[in-house]
Amino acid sequence: MPATDWGWLITPEELSGWILQVTPDLLVLNKPPHVVVHRSRFGPWSSLVGACREYFGDDILRMPFRLDRETSGVLLLARTRETGSRLQRAVQYKAFRKTYHAVLTGHLEAPVTVTGPIGPDAGAEFYSRRTVVEAGGDTAETEFIPVASGGGYSLARIHPHTGRRHQIRVHAAHLGLPIVGDKLYGPDPSLMLRFMRERMTPELLQQLLLDRQALHCTQVEFDTERGTEVFSAPAPHDLAAFVRTHIGCSWD
């Protein structure tokens, strides 16, 4: 993606390489990290939705769920109102499941489900930071399943059973196993401040190990009137390389 003063622009050639499936009513994409999904003020090619509208000439593109800028993985864009409504109903009525993979800092010894409610972190320097709270907060549940460990890191399969903001990252940090590359919920909160001031410097990258949070949406499932509709994305190259180098195994 060509660099700009404010971020990145998507090229048509790149977008074509992210497409996993195209039908008359649906686009399935393997979103890379650092790509904004929603339309932005910097023009159509500055976001995934805007770029797809330009590339395919679609007026209607509905997104039944979203991914954060730094999170990679499978993403759907409905090309018709009927398809958008069908998938959105599954999300609304909790007939929708997501599977993520993440690289955690530390050793995840056994499967664990975190049920701590999530609310604002009153002591944080960033208003967007959230934490597990003792009273109040939104009910949240996340299941972490170890896949492989080594070198001080763990590859985990993750099933969020609720959909709270930053839920996986908050619950991973609550376990004492923050996601590798996470500036906001990692062990050193000053790194986020440095990133906001300086962007990603070589020194900051050396501390974070990755230029983004090591979180990937691997699969989504919708139970609809058509049955169970399943969509998946392969492992991202940067996280697969990290797993090979630091954990010593392949990401299948």
**Which residues are known catalytic residues?**
68
Contact 91, 63 (CB under 8 A): no
Cα 205 to chain center, whole Å? 19
β-bridge mates for residue 77, sequence order: 27
3-class secondary-structure state, position 172: helix
3-class secondary-structure state, position 167: helix
Q: Tokens representing 4? A: 């700009």
Cα 213 to chain center, whole Å? 8
Residue that the structure tokens 């590359």 belong to: 181
Q: Tokens representing 252? A: 């299948």
Burial status of residue 161 (CB atoms within 10 A of its CB: 0-12, 13-18, 19 or more): middle
The closest alpha carbon to 164, from 105, 205, 117, 219, belongs to 117
Sign of torsion over alpha carbons 109, 103, 250, 246: negative
How far is the C-alpha of 192 from the C-alpha of 215, rounded, in Å?
A: 17
3-class secondary-structure state, position 192: helix
3-class secondary-structure state, position 16: helix
